[in-house]
A = this chain, B = another copy of it.
Amino acid sequence: MSRKDIYHDTVKKALSAEGWVITADPLYIKFGGAEIYIDLGAEQLLGAEKDGQYIAVEIKSFIGKSTISEFYTAAGQFMSYRLVLAETYPERILYLAVPYQVYVSFFDTQFGRLAIQQFNLKLIVYKEKQGVIAQWVK
């Protein structure tokens, strides 16, 4: 398994440990034509449910060299997925899952906090080694 896939699995198990039922892996979202459908699906969103709450989870490993570059892509995806979900599955709340160290070094900085606020990002912060969720930023 690639490191990226390992993180995917980590988040899945960490959600299960908190009582979430994984309802779709991947969760496909379809909108406005076949091309978008395939590419949106390629990111492998997770779908999960707990006590009647439905979430979609975009899992990011941030294992590349540039955190800010990966953030740009993650943010563009997040906002695109969110607008498609709002049109298609409005009851499902989208979260971006990020590693704890990246949360500390990037998201919990002056720029990161501004971006979370302005883009209304919702985060699941996971500890990849322990395989647990450290924090939900709602």
Residues of A whose CB lies within 8 Å of any CB of B are 31-33, 35-36, 39-40, 66, 68-69, 71-77, 79-80, 83-84, 87, 109-111, 114-115, 118-119
Q: In the docked arrangement, what's the CA distance between A31 and B115, Å?
A: 12
Query: How many identical chains are in the complex?
Result: 2
Contacts of A74 in B (CB 8 A): 76
Q: Which residue of B lies closest to A87 (CB)?
A: B114
Contacts of A79 in B (CB 8 A): 75-76, 79, 118-119
Q: In the docked arrangement, what's the CA distance between A66 and B73, Å?
A: 13
Contacts of A111 in B (CB 8 A): 31-33, 36, 84
Contact flag A32-B118 (CB < 8 Å), given A66-B39, A71-B76: no
User: Can you name 26 A-B residue pairings with CB atoms under 8 Å?
Assistant: A31-B110, A31-B111, A32-B109, A32-B110, A33-B109, A33-B110, A36-B68, A39-B66, A39-B68, A39-B69, A40-B68, A71-B76, A71-B80, A72-B72, A72-B73, A72-B77, A75-B79, A76-B77, A76-B79, A79-B79, A79-B119, A80-B115, A83-B114, A83-B115, A84-B111, A87-B114
Q: Which residue of B lies closest to A36 (CB)?
A: B111
Is A35 within 8 A of B68, CB to CB? yes
